[in-house]
Chains A and B, each alone.
Chain A
Amino acid sequence: MTSLLIKNGFVFDPLNGVKGEKMDIAIENGKIVEKINEREAKIIDASGMIVMPGGVDIHSHIAGAKVNSGRLLRPEDHFKDVEPKTPITRSGVGYSIPSTFTTGYRYARMGYTTVMDPAMPPLKARHTHEEFNDTPIIDKAAYPLLGDCWFVLEYLKKNRIEECAAYVAWMLKATKGYAIKIVNPGGLEAWGFGRNVRNIDDPVPNFGITPREIIRGLCKVNKLLNLPHTIHVHTNNLGKPGNYINTLETMRCVEDLVENGKPAIHITHCQFSAFAGDDWRTFDSGAEAIAKYVNAHSHVTLDMGQIIFTETTTMTADGPFQFILYELSGNKWVNSDVETETSAGIVPFQYKRKSFVHAMQWSIAMELALLIQDPWKIFLTTDHPNAGPFTHYPRVISWLISRKAREKILERINRKAQRKSLVPTIDREYSLYEIAVITRAGQAKALGLKNKGHLGVGADADIAIYNLNPETLDLAQKPKTVRKAFERAAYTIKDGNITVKNGEVVSTPSGRTFWVNVEAPQAEIEISKKLQQKFGEYYTVKYENYPVPEHYLAIPASINVKAEVQ
């Protein structure tokens, strides 16, 4: 295992500017190195294949209390997608909410090696990490939901940014979290009282603070703490016609906080936040306006949230939105309120080709990906499992790479949506280099993961090799071949171990769990005294029992950052 040499592959490594050149990659002790002794190394012949860094997923609900409730809610999701055990892998089930082991195997089969769970209620952190411990192969991390936490709202109301920063630092440490996740800021708190916020300037009941103040406050906190990722925002009014105006406002509201043109905000599953029109009948795409804004500004990154026409399970922390979805679909549902922190909802959902709204949603996500010129600003996700299971990523790649594949889908969707869609007017086809950006390099860069998403010396040896020959194959004409290649990686190498060979899992090492350890000792001690008093008032658990200890994580990997707060 100690040394590996990948020979003659077409290497795509956007962070180091490598665009499909033939070169060798040497690996020693789980890291990429300059040179190794060829005679001692195991050699992988990758001639005629493409070599990319292991895939990175910035937003995918794979673990935690919500995901598990979804599994319980949907036995019918499982019985048709069963994976029997093999001498190497455990048995498990799919489809839209796969069991933990299956999640790890399926990501690895597609060449993905790092996955972020974007919605961890802080109180359920233990559960999330328990599931992480049982998710093999991939590295993972979770973003605690902090946008509606009472403590945060109170600090921000009094404009105590530094104290809020100390609290967030403590929270990241206590939950072993990675980034600040904000879901429908203010709306989840209002949902606890059966209400919602209407727009970015609508005050939150009982707190008198607006979503704008929450987003700006946490953006400042994020900067003070020097966190590797930006704030990760799920906008207000998600899933409602006309919400793209709100999304533009959200992106605009942190414009003045930007330093050196660095990203300051990540708008997640942007497709759901790019709806135009007044109601479902006049529903339209707001993708063009958003793409225009993003093209002109450098402080925003987005991910797609591409719709897949299939039956899936929607699950978000956005309780009020899930209630609307339940009323629309009449399906079974789960909704819950997590004490003072957040809410959550789950509704099974089927995206249909012939539905006008669903077809438009498909088109919106495609428009976003195709109209935003800079691939470093938009990432490929399906907001697994909300818009579709992650196993459909190869399909999305084939749509981006091939106009022909898009036209084939367009032929089969709702007529009215066909007429309204901008997709037929766009000629752009992604190159493999751009695909490498939106599926790994860009996401790793946005996440601030220094050793992921590239193949430079010193990077983690997470590598995906796909059986595609860009020299002999016209990719745009062969979307099916592209999809098949990305569905079953020829090799997935994780930390120097070959984990997948020809689409089959051959070894299952455990992956790391990243968490951000902010060094801000002084402020933290002060805050923890105040916290202890308030904990008794607000929580059903004791302050001492709340934090997740590091030994609880199977393979913890802390990322130390130095905060500007003291």
Chain B
Amino acid sequence: MPIIKLSPKYSFKVPVNAQIITPDIFQGKTPEEIAKLQVWEGNRSKELGELFKISENGNDALETLVIEISGDLKKVRRIGAKMSIGEIVIHGDVGMHLGEEMEGGKITVNGNAESWMGAMMRGGIIEVKGNTGNYVASAYRGSTKGMRGGKIIIHGNAGNDVGNAMLGGVIKIFGNVGQFVGVNMHDGTIMIRGDCQGRMGAEMRGGKIVICGHVKSVLPSFTIEALRKRVKVEGEPIEGPFYLFLGDLNAGGNGKLFISKNANQHLSFYEKFL
């Protein structure tokens, strides 16, 4: 299968809606055909070839189609939307809604990603080497059906509202996150290696949030359940100890919130309730 390489012809001033940049749509097309695909730059309809340089490298060793994009893509939105196969590799920063409603395949970002990355995704893998914006893997406004499956790995920091209304899948963040992690989540796992600014798991009904760094406080609608030595994320143990909280009781929930004991000495007063 070939590698298709894209790079912007100029720096974009207005948002480019490029949901057609997916292996599903590129598959079986020549670079000339791909260049004819329609995208929106602001309110103007354009052909992909007007915006990007497109070239193809044949590589028989590859089993699936790979799209490699390099350059500044901060204004380019919805790359990899609804993709189900293949791989997208991005060298540089990328815009909002990356991998929206993705079903399979893999996206790698060697740079930062903007907000709404992996929104409502159902499967596949997104790996970001840098930081991401807000609403990673969240449900769109009003919806109660967020990420359902798949995996997101972020090596940097993430913003607020990670995994809103999550129904399944795994999110691993190796940096810090903002507020409202896993709000309204029903199932799935969120692991944060760094600190969290608070209000984790508000209205959660199920699922698991693991925070290895510092948190200011736990919501009053959570109750302490136990002190655990370690916790498993995808079968892989993370050494603790961790406080285990259950909640959110306001929503009649039974979600699990693991908070590192060592990084949060100020929460030790909870131990007297054990």
Task: Verify A79–B140 contact, CB threshold 8 A.
Answer: yes
Counting CB contacts under 8 A, is B143 at the interface?
yes
Counting CB contacts under 8 A, is A484 at the interface?
no
Chain A residue nearest to B251 (CB atoms) is: A330
Q: Chain B interface (Cβ within 8 Å of chain A)?
A: 139-144
CB neighbours (8 Å) of A174 from chain B are none
Task: Verify B142–A73 contact, CB threshold 8 A.
Answer: yes
Chain B residue nearest to A72 (CB atoms) is: B142
Query: What are 13 A-B residue pairs whose CB atoms fall within 8 Å in the complex?
Result: A74-B142, A75-B140, A75-B141, A75-B142, A75-B143, A76-B139, A76-B141, A76-B142, A76-B143, A76-B144, A77-B142, A79-B140, A331-B144
Cβ of B142 to closest chain A Cβ, rounded Å: 4
Among A75, A76, A331, the one with the most B-chain Cβ atoms within 10 Å of its Cβ is A76
CB neighbours (8 Å) of A74 from chain B are 142
| Residues in A329-385 with C-beta less than 8 Å from chain B | 331-332
Cβ of A363 to closest chain B Cβ, rounded Å: 28
Q: Chain A interface (Cβ within 8 Å of chain B)?
A: 73-77, 79, 331-332
Cβ of B71 to closest chain A Cβ, rounded Å: 29
CB neighbours (8 Å) of A75 from chain B are 140-143
Among B139, B141, B142, B143, the one with the most A-chain Cβ atoms within 10 Å of its Cβ is B142
Extra pairs beyond A74-B142, A76-B142, A79-B140 (13, CB < 8 Å)? A73-B142, A75-B140, A75-B141, A75-B142, A75-B143, A76-B139, A76-B140, A76-B141, A76-B143, A76-B144, A77-B142, A331-B144, A332-B144
Cβ of A95 to closest chain B Cβ, rounded Å: 13
CB neighbours (8 Å) of A73 from chain B are 142
CB neighbours (8 Å) of A79 from chain B are 140
Pairs A-B, 8 closest by C-beta atoms: A76-B143, A75-B142, A76-B142, A75-B141, A74-B142, A76-B140, A79-B140, A76-B141
Cβ of B86 to closest chain A Cβ, rounded Å: 24
Cβ of A250 to closest chain B Cβ, rounded Å: 36
Cβ of B260 to closest chain A Cβ, rounded Å: 32
CB neighbours (8 Å) of A77 from chain B are 142
Cβ of B251 to closest chain A Cβ, rounded Å: 8
Whole-angstrom CA separation of A282 from B12 in the bound complex: 62
Cβ of A97 to closest chain B Cβ, rounded Å: 12
Cβ of B143 to closest chain A Cβ, rounded Å: 4
Whole-angstrom CA separation of A76 from B144 in the bound complex: 9
CB neighbours (8 Å) of A76 from chain B are 139-144
Chain B residue nearest to A74 (CB atoms) is: B142
CB neighbours (8 Å) of B139 from chain A are 76
Whole-angstrom CA separation of A488 from B139 in the bound complex: 33
Cβ of A165 to closest chain B Cβ, rounded Å: 44
Whole-angstrom CA separation of A547 from B7 in the bound complex: 63
Cβ of A74 to closest chain B Cβ, rounded Å: 6
Whole-angstrom CA separation of A79 from B139 in the bound complex: 12
CB neighbours (8 Å) of B142 from chain A are 73-77
CB neighbours (8 Å) of B141 from chain A are 75-76
Cβ of B250 to closest chain A Cβ, rounded Å: 12
CB neighbours (8 Å) of B144 from chain A are 76, 331-332
Whole-angstrom CA separation of A79 from B143 in the bound complex: 10
Cβ of B77 to closest chain A Cβ, rounded Å: 14
Whole-angstrom CA separation of A79 from B78 in the bound complex: 14
Whole-angstrom CA separation of A332 from B165 in the bound complex: 13
Chain B residue nearest to A77 (CB atoms) is: B142
Whole-angstrom CA separation of A75 from B143 in the bound complex: 8
Chain A residue nearest to B205 (CB atoms) is: A330
CB neighbours (8 Å) of B140 from chain A are 75-76, 79
Whole-angstrom CA separation of A73 from B142 in the bound complex: 7
CB neighbours (8 Å) of B143 from chain A are 75-76
Whole-angstrom CA separation of A179 from B27 in the bound complex: 59
Cβ of A12 to closest chain B Cβ, rounded Å: 42
Cβ of A78 to closest chain B Cβ, rounded Å: 9
Whole-angstrom CA separation of A418 from B144 in the bound complex: 30
Whole-angstrom CA separation of A76 from B141 in the bound complex: 6
Chain A residue nearest to B139 (CB atoms) is: A76
Whole-angstrom CA separation of A307 from B39 in the bound complex: 39
Cβ of B204 to closest chain A Cβ, rounded Å: 13
Whole-angstrom CA separation of A77 from B144 in the bound complex: 11
Whole-angstrom CA separation of A479 from B144 in the bound complex: 34
Whole-angstrom CA separation of A79 from B141 in the bound complex: 10
Cβ of A200 to closest chain B Cβ, rounded Å: 35
Whole-angstrom CA separation of A77 from B142 in the bound complex: 8
Cβ of B135 to closest chain A Cβ, rounded Å: 14
Cβ of A115 to closest chain B Cβ, rounded Å: 26
Cβ of B42 to closest chain A Cβ, rounded Å: 15
Whole-angstrom CA separation of A79 from B97 in the bound complex: 14
Whole-angstrom CA separation of A472 from B261 in the bound complex: 78
Cβ of B145 to closest chain A Cβ, rounded Å: 8
Cβ of B40 to closest chain A Cβ, rounded Å: 11
Cβ of A30 to closest chain B Cβ, rounded Å: 39
Cβ of A210 to closest chain B Cβ, rounded Å: 37
Chain B residue nearest to A75 (CB atoms) is: B142
Whole-angstrom CA separation of A450 from B139 in the bound complex: 50
Cβ of B4 to closest chain A Cβ, rounded Å: 29
Chain B residue nearest to A311 (CB atoms) is: B145
Chain A residue nearest to B120 (CB atoms) is: A76
Whole-angstrom CA separation of A76 from B142 in the bound complex: 5
Cβ of A418 to closest chain B Cβ, rounded Å: 28
Chain A residue nearest to B141 (CB atoms) is: A75
Whole-angstrom CA separation of A366 from B141 in the bound complex: 36
Chain A residue nearest to B101 (CB atoms) is: A80
Cβ of A380 to closest chain B Cβ, rounded Å: 30
Whole-angstrom CA separation of A76 from B140 in the bound complex: 7
Whole-angstrom CA separation of A79 from B142 in the bound complex: 10
Cβ of B122 to closest chain A Cβ, rounded Å: 14
Whole-angstrom CA separation of A331 from B142 in the bound complex: 11
Cβ of B249 to closest chain A Cβ, rounded Å: 15
Whole-angstrom CA separation of A332 from B141 in the bound complex: 13
CB neighbours (8 Å) of A332 from chain B are 144
Chain A residue nearest to B165 (CB atoms) is: A76
Whole-angstrom CA separation of A331 from B203 in the bound complex: 12
Whole-angstrom CA separation of A443 from B139 in the bound complex: 42
Cβ of A61 to closest chain B Cβ, rounded Å: 19
Cβ of A87 to closest chain B Cβ, rounded Å: 16
Chain B residue nearest to A79 (CB atoms) is: B140
Whole-angstrom CA separation of A239 from B39 in the bound complex: 48
Cβ of A246 to closest chain B Cβ, rounded Å: 32
Cβ of B110 to closest chain A Cβ, rounded Å: 30
Whole-angstrom CA separation of A343 from B139 in the bound complex: 31
Whole-angstrom CA separation of A87 from B141 in the bound complex: 30
Whole-angstrom CA separation of A369 from B141 in the bound complex: 39
Cβ of A71 to closest chain B Cβ, rounded Å: 11
Whole-angstrom CA separation of A544 from B154 in the bound complex: 63
Whole-angstrom CA separation of A332 from B140 in the bound complex: 15
Whole-angstrom CA separation of A77 from B139 in the bound complex: 13
